[in-house]
Structure 1
């Protein structure tokens, strides 16, 4: 319990909770719309922004945010208006972002920057500025889903039906892509670029084993994500390894345990 007296651990707890909320909300939309591959492309495209930030000597997270938003909207624009296959556009953005990141980091003068916290995550290094940013994002996502829940759900599950109901489907999809990009970048501190896609999908998959209700999946994935973050955080602290790896391992274990429990209950 003495860990709770340390400010860095308190920041990590708040950061874990707020990240679980934002990823739980936006991740449910990603799973419903089957956008896991897109989220992976945006995540890896942000590496180009990190590299450019290091090269220019500015905040790398800010540049990664710009890269991610442009990548998300670019994929949406190319696949919807330019007759480009969505998977091809995602692959192009994915590889281009990683290539640009390596290019700019190689050109950065002085010592090579430490990329471990960005690639694999380290929630223990989260700052109050990161917490404020993810808190604002969580509030915005909650308000958005409360005010436009029907429109978002209809667009996620059946965009053709949503269009027949005169809903602004394209606008909704663009707004959601924007928030997907922002959520991805602000969550990099937690699990890192290499593992972030799992945080946006595994808790939702686990919650989906028990319910098909969109609301319940959101709340369930938030709880599962937060429990995984806390467990991974404690393990990473005591074993002195990046927190992101342990968080994902714990979330996978949660999924396997839930799957096993359901299997045994059906057998009985």
Structure 2
């Protein structure tokens, strides 16, 4: 009993772990909320694209000794706006436009990095995350930005779902489809940039997608899916940090492995849509998410 109590409380005695837990919990919860709409939209590729499109901004900020996260945010939001604008052309599918700008942004980042003779710890932390090194100021910034993101998503959640399910119906209903697209892209971009310090550019997509995908296996209701995704993201991130602390593993990678483990467990055991449930009764068609109650 004492050993278990020590396991649970020891990390909280360390100030850097306290900050890491706070940031991981906030980012996990926010990624869950925003990720719901990414999963419903079937646009997981945009998360990967935006994460990589932030790379040239980071490389440019690094070259001029600027703030890496601000540089990444500027490049990511610029790419998101371009994707939202160009994808309004009905001759091009959204994933096609995303692929074009994703490849360009990442290629530009590689070109910019190649102009430098060496990489530094700061640039490496952008790629792989450095949640154990966050400051008290970082915690406050993540908390404020995260709260704003969640409030915006909750305010326009039903409209985002409507556009995700049927864009033409949304247009006929008078919804500002382009503005909603642009808002969602900026929300995703801001969430990703905010999460880079926790898991890094390479793993950030998992934090955005996996909790929402886990929740999607358990419910068809938007409010329930949002609550579940936020909870899975928050608790899974904390559990991942515990694993990292106990076994001296990479923090970002441990968080992603734990979240993926929760997804696999849910995929197997979900009461209605899990693998075991489908083996014992005739498969059912997954119902669409309902925005209301």
Q: Same fold (TM over 0.5)?
A: yes
Equivalent position to 2:120, from 86, 103, 113: 113
Q: In structure 2, do the counterparts of structure 1 residues 92 and 149 end up closer, same or farther at CA, with 3 Å as the change threshold?
A: closer
Name the larger-Rg structure.
2
Q: In structure 2, do the counterparts of structure 1 residues 266 and 96 end up closer, same or farther at CA, with 3 Å as the change threshold?
A: closer
Is 1:180 aligned with 2:151?
no
Q: In structure 2, do the counterparts of structure 1 residues 81 and 250 end up closer, same or farther at CA, with 3 Å as the change threshold?
A: same
Q: In structure 2, do the counterparts of structure 1 residues 82 and 34 end up closer, same or farther at CA, with 3 Å as the change threshold?
A: closer
Equivalent position to 2:26, from 7, 18, 22: 18
Q: In structure 2, do the counterparts of structure 1 residues 146 and 87 end up closer, same or farther at CA, with 3 Å as the change threshold?
A: closer
Equivalent position to 2:108, from 100, 105, 116: 100
Task: Trace 1:117-266 onto structure 2 (pairs within 5 A).
Answer: 117-262=125-270, 263-265=275-277
Report if aligned partners of 1:120, 1:194 keep a CA contact under 8 Å in 2: yes
Number of aligned residues: 267
Report if aligned partners of 2:128, 2:201 keep a CA contact under 8 Å in 1: yes
Q: In structure 2, do the counterparts of structure 1 residues 32 and 239 end up closer, same or farther at CA, with 3 Å as the change threshold?
A: same
Greater mean deviation of Cα atoms: 157-166 or 175-184: 157-166
Give a deviation string over 1:167-191, Cα, whole Å, max 9, x none. 2221111111111111111101111
Report if aligned partners of 2:56, 2:106 keep a CA contact under 8 Å in 1: yes
Is 1:59 aligned with 2:67?
yes
Q: TM-score, normalised by structure 1?
A: 0.91
Is 1:88 aligned with 2:100?
no
Q: Which runs of 5+ in 2 are unaligned?
A: 1-8, 281-293
Question: What is the CA–CA distance in structure 1 between the aligned matches of 2:211 and 2:154, rounded to whole Å?
Answer: 21
What is the CA distance between 1:92 and its match in structure 2? 2.7
Q: In structure 2, do the counterparts of structure 1 residues 239 and 101 end up closer, same or farther at CA, with 3 Å as the change threshold?
A: farther
Q: TM-score, normalised by structure 2?
A: 0.84
Report if aligned partners of 2:34, 2:153 keep a CA contact under 8 Å in 1: no
What is the CA distance between 1:129 and its match in structure 2? 3.0
